[in-house]
Structure 1
């Protein structure tokens, strides 16, 4: 039942308690240090008062799940959680999205099978300190494994299988898709699943043991439309123009762009780990324009990352992976491939050059050198020399 609004207003107007006074001091210090606007500071202050009024036990620590309900009451959630965490008053009980995805795709499975899958997921996400030891995997890895395994698991459940210990080698191989990405995801997922269950003695034998993974069909990198790249390079959005320029000229990846910090650029050079790259002239022009825009828009931001937006400027976190590519209407990976293609054709297939220039492995570089004499790319107009797109 939603709280009574009149009663809530009366409780938020009550005298300030020790908890509110303590949070207010933390809020003022945090807001001044991170350059928060007066509007955001007042919104967080009001949100903390709402949480305090709704507490069944005044003064107790607050769960993150309760803070996430604030928007429907007119409060703000993310910034409020930052203040509560800084004040050591937050209990983070948020559930990873992959766990919700797992529950959705395992609903209705037999209890024993569901319990075995839960054991696998816990080890995947949290790792294991007892033998056999295992490091935690990225949630995206578990997500892809579930995507590949879910249809097969449901089919086994419909056949009357109650436990994964009943699955034989023949059952496993006959259930796999014929080809494609889903076969690859399923093979990787079941290899991980049965390996973990065998190590914890929940199955008798690993049906995937000794079966090699199906090779993934390679793709051919293709060039992008030059006019689309030129349009994005000249975008009126300073962040968009800079991001496109850094990928188009220096072939950075999306994650590299998001993690770039202001201190990574010095004296016109970009430092990426043990690599130091002289920035191209068009990149420096757009970098200057973006830094001027950032200084005007968020003059008090202490975020160390090069790229910031409205959500990340009051904090110290990087931008999301979609920023600013939604405005650019390009994908960073496709733009990176276009840049490497231009370089490999300009150098006549010099593998060593693109490995040093872009930090590629030999195997990754060969994927591009195989396109030098490819008829499709010749017809699409990949030139044998650099084609500057900025005029």
Structure 2
């Protein structure tokens, strides 16, 4: 069964993200749940700031306030650091700024490597959170994140179990409270 991250794990990952690029990468994983390779292949054209949209792997997603802020910070940093780059990838670094290739998956995930809340764990946590917040509906998960049916059913099943466990815990607490009254 998939398990959510604990807040301390997320806090440590946030603290490890110290550059504009890593902060944006962390937000992508935690809010929009793309895989590392999908983050690496994002292009400047995948960002529509005026309409507050982001296209990841062909799926259009609304840009939340946090991601928008971090995206604007990154774009300003990118423009200042590499004003003449011809690279149309959203995320570039010293090695890719003078070429047109994408940044490596290794570079994308380096900043929080070694953390309990890796980019992959943040992605999984976000999808599990969606399943718990909006009900364990695999069709909803497949639509929001572009998951295949088996993966969507696995997230829905884990969310259902977590919700049932939580409900059972509350029943025990409520019964205990009633006994004390």
Q: TM-score range by the shorter chain?
A: 0.7 to 0.9
Relative contact order higher in (CA < 8 Å, ≥ 6 apart): 2
Residue in structure 2 matched with residue 277 of structure 1 by the alignment: 61
1:371 counterpart = 2:155? no
SS for the counterpart of 1:371 is helix
Alpha carbons 1:344, 1:354 under 8 Å: kept? yes
Report whether the alignment pairs 1:224 with 2:8: no
CA deviation vs aligned residue, 1:156-175 (integer Å, no higher than 9, x gap):
xxxxxxxxxxxxxxxxxxxx
TM-score, normalization: structure 1? 0.39
Pairwise mapping of residues 69-88 of structure 1 onto structure 2 (< 5 A)?
none
Among 121, 124, 144, the alignment partner of 1:357 is 144
Measure how far apart 1:301 and its partner are. 1.1
Tell me the distance in 1 between the aligned counterparts of 2:76 and 2:165: 41
For the Cα contact (< 8 Å) 1:371–1:377, is it kept in 2?
no
Structure 2: unaligned runs, 5 residues or longer: 167-181
Give the 3-state SS of the residue equivalent to 2:107 in structure 1: coil
Aligned twin of 1:248? 30
Q: Contact 2:33–2:122 at 8 Å: present in 1 too?
A: yes
Aligned to 1:305, the other structure's residue is in SS state coil
C-alpha deviation, 1:331, in angstroms: 2.7
Partner of 2:123: 336
Query: Are the structure 2 counterparts of residues 355 and 256 from structure 1 closer, same or farther at C-alpha, using a change threshold of 3 Å?
Result: same
Provide the C-alpha distance between the structure 2 equivalents of 1:227 and 1:341, rounded to a whole number of angstroms: 17
Secondary structure of the 1:227 match is: helix
Work out the CA distance in 1 between the residues paired with 2:14 and 2:67: 10
Q: What's the RMSD between the two structures over aligned residues?
A: 2.1
Q: CA offset at residue 365 of structure 1? A: 0.4
Q: Whose Rg is larger?
A: 1
In the TM superposition, residue 225 of structure 1 has moved relative to its aligned partner by 3.0
Does the 8 A contact of 2:142 with 2:152 survive in 1?
yes
